[in-house]
Amino acid sequence: MQISGFEFPDDLYYDRQHNWACVEGNTVVQGMTEFGQKLAREIVYVEIPPVGKAVTQGQTFMSMESGKWVGRIPALVSGKIVAVNEELEFEPTLVNQSPYDQGWLVKIEMSNPAELNNLLRADSPEFKAFVEEEAAKYKDVL
């Protein structure tokens, strides 16, 4: 669905840091939302974490650079990284160009699927209100 002019696919889960999670069985694919990449500006480097690394929901586990700013990305669920998007080593701007598809970041095998309840859905009034508030706050940048 569209919120404030940005796409938020209905089947994904979201956090309040502009990241999305797509559930595939016991695995979650994580990426940055269209809104998030716009706010981040052009991504020039992505640090690909090693496969097998343990991650914790809400804790940062990888870095990205844009505008000389090295930012940290939190994991949307706890578990173990089972795949990483190696293309981002060569084409970090895929995060900008294709945030919901080719710009995915990592796949995490969930250790506690109940944590998905801590995330938001696109059609929830809470999420809509959050995005609208963010869009209003950053209207000059977006």
The residues that touch other proteins, with contacts defined as CB under 8 A, are: 39-41, 44-45, 47, 60, 63, 65-72, 86, 89-90, 137-138, 141
Nearer of residues 62 and 110 to other proteins, judged by Cβ: 62
Least Å distance between CB 92 and other proteins?
A: 9
Q: What is the dihedral of CA 124, 127, 128, 132, to 10 degrees?
A: 170
Least Å distance between CB 120 and other proteins?
A: 18
Least Å distance between CB 71 and other proteins?
A: 5
CA distance to 41, 105, 114, 130, per residue, from 88 (Å): 15, 8, 30, 29
d(CA 37, CA 6): 11
Least Å distance between CB 117 and other proteins?
A: 24
Nearer of residues 60 and 112 to other proteins, judged by Cβ: 60
Nearer of residues 123 and 133 to other proteins, judged by Cβ: 133
d(CA 27, CA 23): 6
Least Å distance between CB 140 and other proteins?
A: 9
Nearer of residues 78 and 85 to other proteins, judged by Cβ: 85
Handedness of CA 107, 112, 114, 120 (dihedral sign): negative
d(CA 121, CA 13): 5
Nearer of residues 30 and 110 to other proteins, judged by Cβ: 30
d(CA 78, CA 73): 13
